[in-house]
Structure 1
Amino acid sequence: MSYLLDFQHALVSVVTTDGRLFVGRLEGYDLATNLLLAHTHEMVVSPDGTEVLPLGLFMLRGSTVVCCGLLDEDLYAKIDWATVKGQPLKSTKNSY
């Protein structure tokens, strides 16, 4: 978990086990990888464009976090998300 120390107060992207994508500023975390994000948005990608849903202060349970990475804030600010199209991410959970 020590690598998250470098991400503190930075803009991060988080992918969860159900294929959801969250972007926000990492405000806190613990040893179970529970993440506290401020100014959070969920990015809902579809073939018609990407919908950006504002969530504000948001906590992600560590057991649902697949990966967390830093974002280039300048590049991120230049993206017109309404024009970004793609297939939604599939769930990473096994189906039984």
Structure 2
Amino acid sequence: MTTGQGRRTQGERDAITVEIGYALCSAAFAAVVVFGAVAGPAYVFGPPAGLRRVLVAAGLVLAVAMFGVRVASVLLRFGRAGQPSQPGRTRPDS
């Protein structure tokens, strides 16, 4: 966003806030999908208790990992991407 020690503008702070919200919401959705894909069969097909615990634990571990990876990837990508110089523009030279 800004380089050096300069203060951020209100627009830059708003963009960061929106990006953090998007990162958290999309990460939560991805984590729910991963948990459902891994642990869902444990609830649908009714396997033995030991297998059910393994599937739920694996789903929980993978969901937490997915959440962290998704938040980090969205925020790192946002930090690398330069903002357009004018609203509505997608490239600085347009």
TM range (shorter): under 0.3
| Larger gyration radius, structure 1 or structure 2 | 2
Provide the TM-score with structure 1 as the length reference.
0.18
Give the TM-score normalised by structure 2.
0.18
Higher normalized strand content (fraction of residues):
1
